[in-house]
Amino acid sequence: MSLDFKCQDPGCRQVFKMPSQLRAHIRWHKRHEAHVCSWPGCKLRFTTNGILEKHMKTHNREKPFRLSCLAKLFLQTSHSNGFSPL
Ligand SMILES: [Zn+2]
Ligand SMILES: [Zn+2]
């Protein structure tokens, strides 16, 4: 028999000794749920929109890198297709 009170939130799973602590923690979650990261596969939550925006920048930093790689590949293939800028 376990007297632990576990948070049911996926990815959190904090354990509390008192049900009142768990209830306070769930209220904390509700506040955080206002700013959820919309990045696929991330689902992190933040108290303020500013913190979320900062966090989103770390995702956006990853994206242009991959895009520039794709752009390079595209340019290389379009050059080999006979396009030459004199
Ligand atoms: Zn939790
Ligand atoms: Zn995220």
Where in the chain are the domains? 5-80
> Ligand nearest 26 Cα, by number?
1
pLDDT at position 68 over 70 = no
pLDDT at position 66 over 80 = no
Q: CB within 5 A of ion ligand 1: which residues?
A: 7, 9, 12, 14
CA atoms within 13 A on the CB side of 72: 6
Mean pLDDT computed over every residue of the chain: 77
What is the arithmetic mean of pLDDT over 15-32? Answer: 89
DSSP readout, 23-61?
Answer: HHHHHHHHHHTTEE--STTT--EESSHHHHHHHHHHHHH
Cβ-contact 37, 55 below 8 angstroms: yes
Confidence (pTM): 0.41
Pairing of strands 45-46, 5-6: unpaired
**Distance in Å, CA 79 to ligand 2 centroid:** 37
27 or 64, which is more confident?
27
pLDDT score at 24: 95
